[in-house]
Amino acid sequence: MDIFTMLLKLGSGMLVSVLIFVLTLLFSLPLGLLVSFGRMSKNGFIRTVTKVYISIMRGTPLMLQLLVVYFAPSIVFKLKVPAGYRFAAVIIAFVINYAAYFAEIYRSGIESIPKGQYEAAKVLGYSQAQTFVKIILPQVIKIILPSVTNEIITLVKDTSLAFAIAQAEMFTVAKQISAAQASIMPLMVAGVFYYIFNLIVATTMEKVEKIHSYYR
């Protein structure tokens, strides 16, 4: 295999990794907010269900969750899964796992907003939805940014877990080539990729935090 073919393969793996990352964030950030509402619900049943869900997601390895999501439909439920299910399984597993982590982050942020903010908004006539969107959420976002940054950086590295179900992302590809060519080079390339990816994430989040630093 010439170096060009190798880089091309690595490049396509890179693309898949980035896609897993983007799709996971796109779905898990809003889903996490929804889950955090469930976790704080007045309804005891909803509260218990979300609590159990969060505890399972955080208490078991993501790799195991990936395997379950990928194999359960065919093995347990005897369903015929479509060819593209591998990638879908990766996204589903990542989204439900990360939503659980984000839910707890949202919850801690929401609970740290003083009651007076809600009361001031209520007296001024804001509806509950307006209060949450205009008054509470912007303050929550500022508070949780550092924790969210941590999660996002972990996610970049976690995308390599898709290797467990042979999804051809960066790490999987690098390992394949490396084994076939008896060369450590592809793995080095992968390492550099993850590092640069995270560098970009960290700088971006730093900028976002700066945007929010105009008030205390």
Partner 1 sequence: MKLLEMTHVGKNFDDTEVLRDISFSIEEGEVVSIIGPSGSGKSTFLRCATMLEKMDRGSMSYLGECACVEEDGKSVYASREKLKDMHKYFGLVFQNFNLFPHYSVMKNITDSLVSVDKISKEEAKERAAALLSQLGLSDKADAYPCQLSGGQQQRVSIARALAKQPKILFFDEPTSALDPELTVEVLKVIKQLAKSHMTMIIVTHEMQFAREVSDRVIFMEDGIIKGQGTPEELFETDNSRIRDFVGKLSGN
The least CB distance from residue 58 to partner 1, in Å, is 30
The least CB distance from residue 182 to partner 1, in Å, is 57
**Nearest residue (CB) to partner 1, 82 versus 114:** 114
The least CB distance from residue 86 to partner 1, in Å, is 43
Residue 201's CB: how many other CB atoms inside 10 A?
Answer: 16
**Nearest residue (CB) to partner 1, 82 versus 125:** 125
**Nearest residue (CB) to partner 1, 135 versus 202:** 135
Residues near partner 1, by CB under 8 A: 114, 116-117, 119-127, 130, 134-135, 138-139, 142, 214-216
**Nearest residue (CB) to partner 1, 49 versus 137:** 137
**Nearest residue (CB) to partner 1, 5 versus 130:** 130
The least CB distance from residue 113 to partner 1, in Å, is 10
The least CB distance from residue 145 to partner 1, in Å, is 13
